[in-house]
Amino acid sequence: MNNFLLLILIVSGSYWFFREDSLKVKGVEGESEFSYILHVTQGDKKKSKLAMIVALHGNGDTPSAFYDTFMKGFPRPARIILIKGPIKYNGGRIGGSAWPIRKSSETKKTGEEIHQIIETLRYRYPTISDPIVLGFSGGAVMSYYLAANYPSSYSYISPLSGLLDLNLFSNEELEPDTSTKVIAFHGKSDSVLHFQNAKQTADKLGELGLYVEFNDFEGGHTGAFTVAKEEIFQKLEEAVDDLVSR
């Protein structure tokens, strides 16, 4: 562990333990562990300096299934890290895991933990610029949380079919040099996380001074995997190209 990271951990008041596929954080509310899987589209998993894409699956999904159904085939050189939701999901076709999105206090707790985990991962692996975060459904709720509370830590944040309780926005002013771009997508006929509520989330981020693109598409909650996927990948490729060119 390098001295800079050690200093961060001491100042934050948390103690970290990690192995290749998991991270534990021990804070004032107890210890939580998050597992993840890692893919590189080009280069060495540990040594190559690449753009980092953190992908957060939807509720009821798994990191490996989310990779296979959505992220697999991404054409740009990148390190893709897929973090597993902390809650066991009962039901659905494949079981899987989930993110806490029903209670604001639980959403906040997990959002804080995910931010700290990504901060650790960005120093664990050679990373070009700030990480990109992409999330679907419950994972998009987490993505919006990061945008609303830690925008300056990320280069691009792309919530797909998600929203955020407006009470979970930070009251702190945006740092003047923040260049984060929020590129959101949402289906007009989404009956799971409703379109209008998602639009309110994106509008609130814009009011805070963030650059926000809110892209709608004809379709429902899972349209990000079908009708909107080509456009989402195009935006993601442009984001990686931007980081590499800096």
What span, in angstroms and rounded, lies between the C-alpha atoms of 74 and 102? 32
pLDDT of residue 78: 97
Closest C-alpha to 216, from 189, 245, 238, 243: 189
pTM: 0.89
DSSP letters, 153-185, are G-SEEEEES----GGGS--SPPPTT---EEEEE
Q: Could you give the number of structural domains in the chain? A: 1
Each residue's pLDDT tens digit, 157-182 = 999 999 999 999 998 888 877 899 99
Instruction: With respect to residue 1, please indicate whether it lies within any of the assigned structural domains.
Output: no
| CA–centroid distance for 226 within its chain | 20
Instruction: With respect to residue 70, please indicate whether it lies within any of the assigned structural domains.
Output: yes
Q: What domain range includes position 77?
A: 14-245
Give the mean pLDDT of 20-36.
72
Reported confidence tier of residue 12, pLDDT bands at 50, 70, 90: very low
pLDDT of residue 173: 83
Asked if residue 38 has pLDDT above 80, the reply is: yes
Dihedral in degrees, nearest 10, Cα atoms 168, 172, 173, 177: -90
Instruction: With respect to residue 5, please indicate whether it lies within any of the assigned structural domains.
Output: no
Instruction: With respect to residue 66, please indicate whether it lies within any of the assigned structural domains.
Output: yes
Asked if residue 3 has pLDDT above 60, the reply is: no
Instruction: With respect to residue 165, please indicate whether it lies within any of the assigned structural domains.
Output: yes
DSSP letters, 52-90, are EEEEEPPTTB-HHHHIIIIITT--S-EEEEEEPPSEE--
CATH classification at residue 41: 3.40.50.1820
Distances 24 to 45, 86, 222 between C-alpha atoms, Å: 21, 11, 31
Instruction: With respect to residue 191, please indicate whether it lies within any of the assigned structural domains.
Output: yes
Pairing of strands 156-160, 181-187: parallel
Each residue's pLDDT tens digit, 88-141 = 887 655 668 999 999 999 999 999 999 999 999 999 999 999 999 999 999 999
Instruction: With respect to residue 120, please indicate whether it lies within any of the assigned structural domains.
Output: yes
Instruction: With respect to residue 226, please indicate whether it lies within any of the assigned structural domains.
Output: yes
pLDDT of residue 77: 96
